[in-house]
Amino acid sequence: MTDVQTPFLQRYRINALRAAGGLALCLLAVTSTPPTLPLVSAIFEITGAFAILIAIAGRGWSLFYIGGRKNSELVTSGPYSMMRNPLYFFSLIGIVGVAAQTGSLLSMGAITLTAYLAFDMAMRGEEAYLASRYGQRFEEYRQAIPRLWPDLSLWRECEDTPLRSASALGSLKDGMVFLAAWIGIELIKLAQSAGFLPVLWTLPI
């Protein structure tokens, strides 16, 4: 997630993702999953929790490099030396983690695919913006660095301290949305168990 974009496009992307997330929670509120073995449920929950923590930590790490200079520089060091969109990469991991808390493979697949398609459109738009702004320099970066899947062999550190602004620390709150979604899903499960939420259909897997 290179995250260099006009304020309007950034607000549009954030609001669209929030709306999609809210819709997903509404659908999950009236949906249940088939009974599974306790061990299977535990694997889903522990794996999902681990993915959420990785997402929060990874986004924070990426923001140490991009924060405070996202609109003034083409950042190509740290996580941005291994992949062009680390914020999207870690966000996708977080979404997989949240989806795992539902305990349904079908929910995980649908949520993850929807998120990836939304991120793909956002990345295309951002790359077009970066290409128009940085020209050949961005094209060389695009050719050398994977778009989303990291290549650890390409790691390159910057020469100075990456954190340029305290605003980067403030941006860490964005990662808390994964914790909020996790809590929301757990509350939905409790409400369904107590009979406060009607279950309209049950997923096959």
**pLDDT for res 149:** 92
pTM: 0.82
pLDDT in tens, 173-205: 677 788 888 888 888 888 888 888 787 767 767
DSSP 114: H
Q: Can you tell me the distance from the alpha carbon of 111 to that of 25, in angstroms, rounded to the nearest whole number?
A: 11
CA-to-CA separations, 201 to 32, 103, 110, 197, in angstroms, rounded = 7, 15, 16, 12
- Residue among 66, 15, 75 nearest 172 (CA): 66
Alpha helices in 5-164 (DSSP H): 7-29, 38-66, 86-100, 105-134, 136-144
Q: Can you tell me the distance from the alpha carbon of 118 to that of 204, in angstroms, rounded to the nearest whole number?
A: 26
Would you state the structure tokens that stand for residue 4, as one six-digit string? 């260099």
**pLDDT for res 4:** 42
Q: Can you tell me the distance from the alpha carbon of 39 to that of 37, in angstroms, rounded to the nearest whole number?
A: 5
Residue 7, pLDDT above cutoff 60: no
Q: Can you tell me the distance from the alpha carbon of 150 to that of 89, in angstroms, rounded to the nearest whole number?
A: 9
- Residue among 71, 68, 72, 81 nearest 151 (CA): 81
- Amino acid letter, residue 121: M
